[in-house]
Amino acid sequence: MLKFIKGHMETIQGIEIYPIISLLIFFIFFVVLFWWVFTAKKDYVEEVSQIPLESKNEHEL
């Protein structure tokens, strides 16, 4: 099955750009994610980390 797919894909013109685009999107997404994580304000992170621990009544007030 894989040989059929690989052989079929080799006949498509310009298909080699798609893995490059996918890698760039993946890389850029994680670079931006790491940048956001390292530059996030500590107060915001602390506030968001406490949300799952709050009871339903406290959160509605």
Give pLDDT tens digits for 7-60: 777 788 888 899 899 999 999 999 999 999 899 888 888 888 888 877 666 555
**Could you give the CA distance from residue 17 to residue 57 in angstroms, rounded to a whole number?**
52
pLDDT at 15: 83
Look at residue 42 and tell me if it is in a domain: yes
Look at residue 56 and tell me if it is in a domain: yes
Look at residue 34 and tell me if it is in a domain: yes
Cα Rg for the chain, rounded, in angstroms? Answer: 22
pLDDT at 23: 96
Question: What pTM did the predictor assign?
Answer: 0.58
pLDDT at 33: 95
Q: Tell me the residue range of the domain where 40 lies.
A: 19-60
Q: Torsion over CA of 16, 19, 20 and 23, rounded to 10 degrees?
A: -170
Look at residue 14 and tell me if it is in a domain: no
Closest to 16 in 3D by CA, of 6, 3, 26 = 6
For 25, half-sphere exposure in the C-beta direction (CA atoms, 13 angstrom radius) is: 6
Look at residue 2 and tell me if it is in a domain: no
Helix/strand number for the chain, H first, E second: 4, 0
pLDDT at 53: 77
The structural domain count of the chain equals 1
pLDDT at 9: 75
Look at residue 35 and tell me if it is in a domain: yes
Look at residue 8 and tell me if it is in a domain: no
